[in-house]
Amino acid sequence: QNQSTVSITVVGASGDLAKKKIFPALFALYYEDCLPEHFTIYGYSRSKMTDVELRNMVSKTLTCRIDKRANCGEKMEEFLKRCFYHSGQYDSQEHFTELDKKLKEHEAGRISNRLFYLSIPPNIFVDAVKCASSSASSVNGWTRVIVEKPFGRDSETSAALTKSLKQYLEEDQIFRIDHYLGKELVENLSVLRFSNLIFEPLWSRQYIRNVQFIFSEDFGTEGRGGYFDHYGIIRDIMQNHLLQILALFAMETPVSLDAEDIRNEKNVMKEYIPIQVKVLRSMRPIQMEDVVIGQYKSHTKGGVTHPGYTDDKTVPKDSLTPTFAAAALFIDNARWDGVPFLMKAGKALHTRRAEIRVQFRHVPGNLYNRNTGCDLDKATNELVIRVQPDEAIYLKINNKVPGLGMRLDRSNLNLLYSARYSKEIPDAYERLLLDAIEGERRLFIRSDELDAAWSLFTPLLKEIEEKKRIPEYYPYGSRGPVGAHYLAAKHKVQWGDMS
Ligand code: BG6
């Protein structure tokens, strides 16, 4: 171990993601003693900057999550001393060769392991990978590259990207991040299901009426309109974050916690039947009539006017790009036949939240449905996994109201993380960066999984775009288009977050 070193190069170091997420996550890992003894961090981007300037920039973004601890400032100083900067073009072999020389100096003859985090626009992924792999990859250790979505815009462009990347890297060197998979409550989903006796036996069409995956943000595109307009909410959130969670939720029991065993139970590859991919491939093509799209418009509340989506200067005035979508999906397999999996994702809604809601079936012949305040339609059990904010898991149950009469109400069995655990929850990027350094691939997206995800959404996206489907407009800060209720009602479902 002492003979090896890890060099982490953040390509696109002056960008927003690097500043807000990657450097702070690396620092948190350092603080928690999770980084290897010998490591160096390089920021790489086009701007001219000295090491000191990079350190100043990074230091402003390090939120000492652990600032209650005395030595936080000291740790920050130590960490910053391990950060360096190299200015270069993303498509320049020469500049990556210069970086290679600098990395070698730090590595001082040890086994060199190199991790490149591509925090750059997708149109320059391939050039950067080409240069990094041919001019700056490790000669005696591993070289890994983390890439983050968008992985194309549809099946064709995604396949072309994968093909180009594979000219320079093996599949096991590519770490495709979906940061939702690094979120604590998403990681906990399998623990909840597979290490408690009471959930897994209920995890099927026999007991579950429907499952809902809800993502909402209480702010609009805010400066990201240019990027967003090219993708829209379906590509930005549904095709990846929500679909990944769905696959984890619905997969069969994996043989073990081994990355390949898990990812196999989430798809179907030629030589063997894989599991996470298998779920995705069992999904019924999404029907246009099972999809609602929306776009937020300007709204004034309490004297404050919030701009509409097309008021963003980087968005074309006539844009039809959805900022909201709701969809009903189905998995045609023995476990889930007929169970609606509803997804809802939107920007500029009334609240920020990400959650999974599992609504169970009615109690057959419920003895308590008369004159007890128990409304059969509403009184089903519901398991809620609140991914953020205020992480929590709660189960809605029917309970007798204390007293001499017989009245029921719905109460929660509640596991609120802030009340139960004193330790702060690590950011998703911390877990994923650590996994990439350790070569743990469980939470990263394999190319067959990516293909399956695109196969599901590409026909729908084409139809929406070719037919120029008009989104339903909703006011900024509202609960979104009414159409989402009709969609749920069509499948005999009520959105859990609306009740
Ligand atoms: C990103 C999307 O993947 O996830 C953004 O591109 C979105 O549009 C973000 O705001 C949400 O992430 P989080 O972790 O803040 O919920």
Cβ of 427 below 6 Å from ligand 1: no
Q: Is the pLDDT of residue 232 over 50?
A: yes
As a whole number, the mean pLDDT across the chain is 92
Distance from Cα 106 to the centre of ligand 1, integer Å = 35
Is the alpha carbon torsion for 463, 246, 177, 282 positive or negative? negative
Per-residue pLDDT at 376 exceeds 90: no
What is the tens place of the pLDDT at every residue in 45-66? 999 999 999 999 999 988 776 5
pLDDT in tens, 457-494: 999 999 999 999 999 999 999 999 999 999 999 999 99
242-276 pLDDT, tens digit per residue, is 999 999 999 988 777 666 666 666 654 443 446 77
Ligand 1 nearest atom to the CA of residue 352, by list position: 16
pLDDT above 70 (res 68): no
DSSP 227-256: HHHHHHHIIIIIIIIIHHHHHHHHPPPPSS
Task: Output the CA 235–ligand 1 centroid distance in Å.
Answer: 12
Q: Is the dihedral of CA 114, 24, 440, 149 positive or negative?
A: negative
241 is catalytic: yes
Query: CA 151 to CA 145: how far, in whole Å?
Result: 14
Please work out whether the CB of residue 265 comes within 6 Å of at least one atom of ligand 1. Answer: no
Higher pLDDT: 374 or 338? It is 338
Given a contact cutoff of 8 angstroms between Cβ atoms, the answer to whether 455 and 152 are in contact is no
What percent of the chain has pLDDT above 90? 81
- d(CA 207, CA 402) in angstroms, rounded, equals 28
> What is the per-residue pLDDT across 150-200, written as a single tens digit (0 to 9) for each?
999 999 999 999 999 999 999 999 999 999 999 999 999 999 999 999 999
Please say if the pLDDT value at position 223 is more than 90: no
* Residue of 20, 179, 391 to mutate, ligand 1, most atoms within 8 A of C-beta: 179
Q: What is the pTM of this model?
A: 0.94
Nearest CA to ligand 1 atom 2: 236
Tell me the best of 187, 215, 237 to mutate to test the pocket of ligand 1, counting ligand atoms within 8 Å of each CB and taking the most.
Answer: 237
Pick the catalytic residue from 241, 350, 362, 491: 241
Q: Which of 223, 235, 260, 265 is nearest to 247 (CA)?
A: 265
Question: For residue range 83-119, what is the model confidence (pLDDT) as tens digits?
Answer: 999 999 999 999 999 999 999 999 988 999 999 999 9
Q: What is the pLDDT of residue 321?
A: 98
Quick one: pLDDT band at residue 497, thresholds 50, 70, 90?
Answer: confident
Q: 349 pLDDT exceeds 60?
A: yes
Residues 28-50 pLDDT 10s: 999 999 999 999 999 999 999 99
Which one has a higher pLDDT value, 286 or 377? 286
The whole-angstrom separation of Cα 133 and Cα 143 is 8
Kindly report the protein residue whose alpha carbon is nearest to atom 6 of ligand 1. 236
Do the Cβ atoms of 85 and 54 come closer than 8 Å? yes
Q: Which atom of ligand 1 is found nearest the CA of 183?
A: 14
Ligand 1 pocket, residue 449 CB under 6 Å? no
Structure letter (DSSP) for residue 320: -
State percent of the chain over pLDDT 70: 93
What is the CA(149)–ligand 1 centre distance, in A?
Answer: 11
Which residues, other chains included, contact 44 with Cβ-Cβ below 8 Å and sequence gap of 6+?
Answer: 9, 10, 11, 12, 13, 85, 86, 87, 88, 99
